[in-house]
Amino acid sequence: MLLEVSELSIAYANDTIVKNMNLSLEEGEVVAIVGESGSGKTTVIRAILGCLPHGGHITGGEMFFEGKNLLENTVEDWRKLCGRKAAMVFQDSGSMLDPIKRIGSQFIEYICEHSSLTKSEAAKAAEEMLNKMHLPHTENLMKSYPFELSGGMRQRIGIAMAMFFKPRLLLADEPTSALDVTTQAQVVTEMLEICRRDQTAIILVTHNIGVAAYMSEKLIVMRSGSIVEAGKTDEIITNPQSQYTKELLEAVPEIGGKRYAF
Protein backbone atom coordinates (compact mmCIF):
# COMPACT_ATOMS: atom_id res chain seq x y z
CA MET A 1 0.00 0.00 0.00
CA LEU A 2 1.36 3.42 -0.97
CA LEU A 3 -0.82 5.58 1.25
CA GLU A 4 -3.15 4.66 4.06
CA VAL A 5 -5.15 7.33 5.85
CA SER A 6 -7.45 6.12 8.60
CA GLU A 7 -9.96 7.93 10.77
CA LEU A 8 -8.21 11.25 10.13
CA SER A 9 -9.72 14.28 11.83
CA ILE A 10 -8.51 17.85 11.30
CA ALA A 11 -9.40 21.09 13.04
CA TYR A 12 -8.74 24.79 12.50
CA ALA A 13 -8.40 26.21 16.02
CA ASN A 14 -11.25 24.46 17.88
CA ASP A 15 -13.45 23.80 14.83
CA THR A 16 -13.31 20.23 13.55
CA ILE A 17 -13.33 20.53 9.77
CA VAL A 18 -12.62 16.95 8.67
CA LYS A 19 -14.06 14.01 10.58
CA ASN A 20 -12.87 10.39 10.41
CA MET A 21 -11.53 10.47 6.87
CA ASN A 22 -10.41 7.14 5.38
CA LEU A 23 -8.46 6.77 2.16
CA SER A 24 -6.10 4.16 0.75
CA LEU A 25 -4.09 4.17 -2.42
CA GLU A 26 -1.96 1.60 -4.23
CA GLU A 27 0.95 2.47 -6.58
CA GLY A 28 -0.39 4.08 -9.75
CA GLU A 29 -3.99 4.20 -8.55
CA VAL A 30 -6.20 7.28 -9.02
CA VAL A 31 -8.67 8.29 -6.33
CA ALA A 32 -10.88 11.34 -6.66
CA ILE A 33 -12.35 13.32 -3.78
CA VAL A 34 -15.44 15.22 -4.80
CA GLY A 35 -17.76 17.51 -2.92
CA GLU A 36 -19.04 21.04 -2.77
CA SER A 37 -16.90 24.02 -1.82
CA GLY A 38 -15.94 23.97 1.86
CA SER A 39 -16.40 20.21 2.30
CA GLY A 40 -12.76 19.80 3.41
CA LYS A 41 -11.16 18.32 0.28
CA THR A 42 -8.18 20.67 0.17
CA THR A 43 -7.69 20.36 3.92
CA VAL A 44 -7.27 16.57 3.57
CA ILE A 45 -4.57 16.75 0.89
CA ARG A 46 -2.74 19.54 2.68
CA ALA A 47 -2.62 17.34 5.78
CA ILE A 48 -1.16 14.47 3.73
CA LEU A 49 1.66 16.76 2.52
CA GLY A 50 2.23 18.21 5.99
CA CYS A 51 1.29 21.72 4.90
CA LEU A 52 -1.89 22.65 6.74
CA PRO A 53 -2.23 26.42 6.99
CA HIS A 54 -1.55 28.22 10.27
CA GLY A 55 -4.00 27.07 12.95
CA GLY A 56 -4.77 23.79 11.20
CA HIS A 57 -3.89 20.61 13.08
CA ILE A 58 -4.60 16.91 13.09
CA THR A 59 -6.75 15.90 16.03
CA GLY A 60 -7.04 12.17 15.41
CA GLY A 61 -6.31 9.24 13.14
CA GLU A 62 -3.27 7.96 11.30
CA MET A 63 -1.47 8.45 7.97
CA PHE A 64 1.11 6.03 6.54
CA PHE A 65 3.08 6.64 3.33
CA GLU A 66 5.16 3.71 2.05
CA GLY A 67 4.67 2.16 5.47
CA LYS A 68 6.05 5.19 7.33
CA ASN A 69 3.96 7.00 9.92
CA LEU A 70 3.59 10.56 8.57
CA LEU A 71 2.51 11.87 11.96
CA GLU A 72 6.03 11.17 13.23
CA ASN A 73 7.70 13.11 10.38
CA THR A 74 10.38 15.65 11.22
CA VAL A 75 10.76 18.86 9.18
CA GLU A 76 13.58 17.12 7.31
CA ASP A 77 11.33 14.09 6.55
CA TRP A 78 8.66 16.41 5.08
CA ARG A 79 11.30 18.20 3.00
CA LYS A 80 12.48 14.89 1.54
CA LEU A 81 8.93 13.76 0.81
CA CYS A 82 7.64 16.93 -0.86
CA GLY A 83 8.70 17.59 -4.42
CA ARG A 84 10.44 14.30 -5.14
CA LYS A 85 8.21 11.55 -3.70
CA ALA A 86 4.99 13.52 -3.48
CA ALA A 87 4.13 16.58 -5.55
CA MET A 88 1.20 18.94 -5.75
CA VAL A 89 -0.57 20.65 -8.62
CA PHE A 90 -2.98 23.50 -7.92
CA GLN A 91 -5.71 25.17 -9.92
CA ASP A 92 -3.29 27.96 -10.70
CA SER A 93 0.05 26.14 -10.73
CA GLY A 94 0.89 28.12 -13.85
CA SER A 95 0.63 31.38 -11.94
CA MET A 96 3.32 30.18 -9.51
CA LEU A 97 5.88 30.65 -12.28
CA ASP A 98 8.19 33.61 -11.80
CA PRO A 99 6.88 36.29 -14.22
CA ILE A 100 10.28 37.85 -14.85
CA LYS A 101 12.20 34.67 -15.64
CA ARG A 102 12.14 32.69 -18.86
CA ILE A 103 10.44 29.26 -18.63
CA GLY A 104 13.67 27.46 -19.47
CA SER A 105 15.78 29.13 -16.82
CA GLN A 106 13.25 28.49 -14.04
CA PHE A 107 12.70 24.87 -15.04
CA ILE A 108 16.48 24.26 -15.23
CA GLU A 109 17.01 25.96 -11.86
CA TYR A 110 14.29 23.77 -10.30
CA ILE A 111 15.88 20.57 -11.68
CA CYS A 112 19.42 21.54 -10.64
CA GLU A 113 18.25 22.46 -7.12
CA HIS A 114 16.75 18.99 -6.59
CA SER A 115 19.25 16.80 -8.47
CA SER A 116 22.88 16.50 -9.49
CA LEU A 117 22.23 17.12 -13.20
CA THR A 118 24.37 19.72 -14.97
CA LYS A 119 22.69 22.76 -16.52
CA SER A 120 22.86 21.37 -20.05
CA GLU A 121 21.54 17.95 -18.95
CA ALA A 122 18.73 19.72 -17.08
CA ALA A 123 17.89 21.83 -20.16
CA LYS A 124 17.59 18.72 -22.32
CA ALA A 125 15.50 16.90 -19.72
CA ALA A 126 13.23 19.94 -19.20
CA GLU A 127 12.55 20.19 -22.93
CA GLU A 128 11.77 16.46 -23.10
CA MET A 129 9.31 16.83 -20.23
CA LEU A 130 7.57 19.75 -21.97
CA ASN A 131 7.26 17.54 -25.05
CA LYS A 132 5.59 14.86 -22.95
CA MET A 133 2.95 17.41 -21.94
CA HIS A 134 2.41 17.88 -25.68
CA LEU A 135 3.58 21.48 -25.57
CA PRO A 136 4.44 22.75 -29.05
CA HIS A 137 7.74 24.35 -30.16
CA THR A 138 9.47 23.54 -26.91
CA GLU A 139 12.72 25.19 -27.97
CA ASN A 140 10.95 28.56 -28.29
CA LEU A 141 8.91 27.87 -25.20
CA MET A 142 12.04 27.50 -23.09
CA LYS A 143 12.99 31.05 -24.13
CA SER A 144 9.52 32.52 -23.42
CA TYR A 145 8.29 34.46 -20.41
CA PRO A 146 5.13 33.19 -18.64
CA PHE A 147 3.05 36.20 -19.76
CA GLU A 148 3.69 35.29 -23.39
CA LEU A 149 1.82 31.98 -22.96
CA SER A 150 -1.84 31.02 -22.58
CA GLY A 151 -3.26 29.90 -19.22
CA GLY A 152 -3.44 26.32 -20.50
CA MET A 153 0.22 26.33 -21.51
CA ARG A 154 1.31 27.77 -18.17
CA GLN A 155 -0.72 25.12 -16.34
CA ARG A 156 0.87 22.36 -18.46
CA ILE A 157 4.32 23.73 -17.55
CA GLY A 158 3.35 23.71 -13.86
CA ILE A 159 2.28 20.06 -14.20
CA ALA A 160 5.45 19.17 -16.16
CA MET A 161 7.55 20.59 -13.32
CA ALA A 162 5.54 18.77 -10.63
CA MET A 163 5.86 15.49 -12.55
CA PHE A 164 9.54 15.87 -13.47
CA PHE A 165 10.94 13.72 -10.66
CA LYS A 166 8.35 10.98 -11.21
CA PRO A 167 6.70 11.35 -7.80
CA ARG A 168 5.02 8.26 -6.31
CA LEU A 169 2.05 10.43 -5.39
CA LEU A 170 0.54 13.46 -7.10
CA LEU A 171 -1.93 15.58 -5.18
CA ALA A 172 -3.95 17.48 -7.76
CA ASP A 173 -6.22 20.19 -6.38
CA GLU A 174 -8.70 21.30 -9.07
CA PRO A 175 -5.85 21.06 -11.61
CA THR A 176 -7.96 22.08 -14.60
CA SER A 177 -10.78 24.15 -13.14
CA ALA A 178 -9.37 27.47 -14.33
CA LEU A 179 -9.17 26.27 -17.94
CA ASP A 180 -11.74 26.28 -20.71
CA VAL A 181 -13.58 23.02 -21.36
CA THR A 182 -11.50 21.87 -24.37
CA THR A 183 -8.19 22.64 -22.67
CA GLN A 184 -9.39 20.89 -19.49
CA ALA A 185 -9.95 17.68 -21.42
CA GLN A 186 -6.50 17.87 -23.06
CA VAL A 187 -4.64 18.64 -19.85
CA VAL A 188 -6.42 15.88 -17.90
CA THR A 189 -5.59 13.35 -20.65
CA GLU A 190 -1.92 14.39 -20.74
CA MET A 191 -1.60 14.30 -16.97
CA LEU A 192 -3.10 10.81 -16.85
CA GLU A 193 -0.79 9.63 -19.63
CA ILE A 194 2.33 10.71 -17.71
CA CYS A 195 1.05 9.29 -14.41
CA ARG A 196 0.23 5.92 -16.00
CA ARG A 197 3.65 5.73 -17.62
CA ASP A 198 5.47 6.55 -14.37
CA GLN A 199 3.04 4.55 -12.16
CA THR A 200 2.31 7.72 -10.18
CA ALA A 201 -0.73 7.50 -7.92
CA ILE A 202 -3.05 10.52 -7.89
CA ILE A 203 -5.41 12.04 -5.38
CA LEU A 204 -7.58 14.31 -7.45
CA VAL A 205 -9.62 16.94 -5.66
CA THR A 206 -12.47 18.36 -7.68
CA HIS A 207 -16.00 19.68 -7.34
CA ASN A 208 -16.72 18.22 -10.80
CA ILE A 209 -17.89 14.62 -10.47
CA GLY A 210 -17.70 14.35 -14.28
CA VAL A 211 -13.93 14.95 -14.26
CA ALA A 212 -13.62 12.58 -11.30
CA ALA A 213 -15.54 9.86 -13.13
CA TYR A 214 -13.31 10.18 -16.16
CA MET A 215 -10.04 10.08 -14.27
CA SER A 216 -10.41 7.87 -11.22
CA GLU A 217 -10.80 4.24 -10.27
CA LYS A 218 -11.94 5.07 -6.75
CA LEU A 219 -14.21 7.85 -5.62
CA ILE A 220 -14.78 9.54 -2.28
CA VAL A 221 -17.75 11.88 -1.96
CA MET A 222 -17.38 14.39 0.88
CA ARG A 223 -19.80 16.80 2.48
CA SER A 224 -19.21 19.02 5.50
CA GLY A 225 -15.97 17.27 6.38
CA SER A 226 -17.31 13.71 6.32
CA ILE A 227 -17.40 10.92 3.77
CA VAL A 228 -20.87 10.52 2.32
CA GLU A 229 -20.02 7.67 -0.02
CA ALA A 230 -16.83 5.88 -1.09
CA GLY A 231 -15.97 2.99 -3.36
CA LYS A 232 -15.26 2.04 -6.96
CA THR A 233 -15.98 4.99 -9.26
CA ASP A 234 -17.94 2.92 -11.83
CA GLU A 235 -20.17 1.47 -9.16
CA ILE A 236 -20.90 4.84 -7.54
CA ILE A 237 -21.57 6.52 -10.88
CA THR A 238 -23.94 3.80 -12.08
CA ASN A 239 -25.58 3.14 -8.74
CA PRO A 240 -25.15 6.06 -6.31
CA GLN A 241 -26.43 5.31 -2.82
CA SER A 242 -26.67 8.75 -1.27
CA GLN A 243 -29.01 11.54 -2.26
CA TYR A 244 -26.08 13.98 -2.28
CA THR A 245 -24.12 11.90 -4.84
CA LYS A 246 -27.25 11.67 -6.98
CA GLU A 247 -27.55 15.46 -6.92
CA LEU A 248 -23.89 15.89 -7.92
CA LEU A 249 -24.42 13.48 -10.82
CA GLU A 250 -27.56 15.25 -11.95
CA ALA A 251 -25.56 18.46 -12.22
CA VAL A 252 -23.30 16.93 -14.92
CA PRO A 253 -24.50 18.14 -18.34
CA GLU A 254 -26.37 15.60 -20.43
CA ILE A 255 -26.47 15.70 -24.22
CA GLY A 256 -28.44 13.17 -26.27
CA GLY A 257 -28.90 10.85 -23.30
CA LYS A 258 -25.18 10.74 -22.45
CA ARG A 259 -23.52 12.47 -19.53
CA TYR A 260 -20.32 14.27 -20.37
CA ALA A 261 -17.25 14.41 -18.20
CA PHE A 262 -16.29 17.98 -19.05
Q: Is 42 in the site for ligand ATP (CB under 6 A)?
A: yes
Output the smallest distance, CB 224 to ligand ATP, in A: 8
C-alpha torsion sign, points 225, 228, 232, 236: negative
Binding mask 196-225 for ligand ATP (x = CB under 6 A): -----------x------------------
Pick the binder of ligand ATP from 8, 11, 41, 97 (CB under 6 A). Answer: 41
* Residue 14, strand partner residues: none
* Residue 223, strand partner residues: 226
Residue 100: φ, ψ to 5°: -105, 15
Q: Are the beta carbons of 17 and 43 closer than 8 angstroms?
A: yes
Number of residues that bind ligand ATP (CB under 6 A): 14
Pick the binder of ligand ATP from 34, 40, 122, 210 (CB under 6 A). Answer: 40
Pick the closer one to ligand ATP by CB: 108 or 205: 205
* Residue 218, strand partner residues: 31, 232
What one-letter code names the amino acid at 139?
Answer: E
Q: Is 17 in the site for ligand ATP (CB under 6 A)?
A: yes
Binding segment (CB under 6 A) for ligand ATP, from list 22-30, 34-42, 183-191, 252-260: 34-42
Pick the binder of ligand ATP from 27, 55, 238, 254 (CB under 6 A). Answer: 55
Pick the binder of ligand ATP from 4, 12, 28, 192 (CB under 6 A). Answer: 12
DSSP string, 194-254: HHHHHT-EEEEEES-HHHHHHH-SEEEEEETTEEEEEEEHHHHHHS--SHHHHHHHHTS-E
Contacts of 127 (CB under 8 A, 6+ apart): 104, 138, 139, 142
User: What is d(CA 215, CA 206) in angstroms, rounded to the nearest whole number?
Assistant: 11
Q: Is 57 in the site for ligand ATP (CB under 6 A)?
A: no
Q: Is 253 in the site for ligand ATP (CB under 6 A)?
A: no
Pick the binder of ligand ATP from 25, 32, 39, 212 (CB under 6 A). Answer: 39
Output the smallest distance, CB 11 to ligand ATP, in A: 9
| Start-to-end CA span in the chain (Å) | 31
Q: Is 9 in the site for ligand ATP (CB under 6 A)?
A: no
Q: Which residues bind ligand ATP (CB under 6 A)?
A: 12, 17, 35, 37-43, 53, 55-56, 207
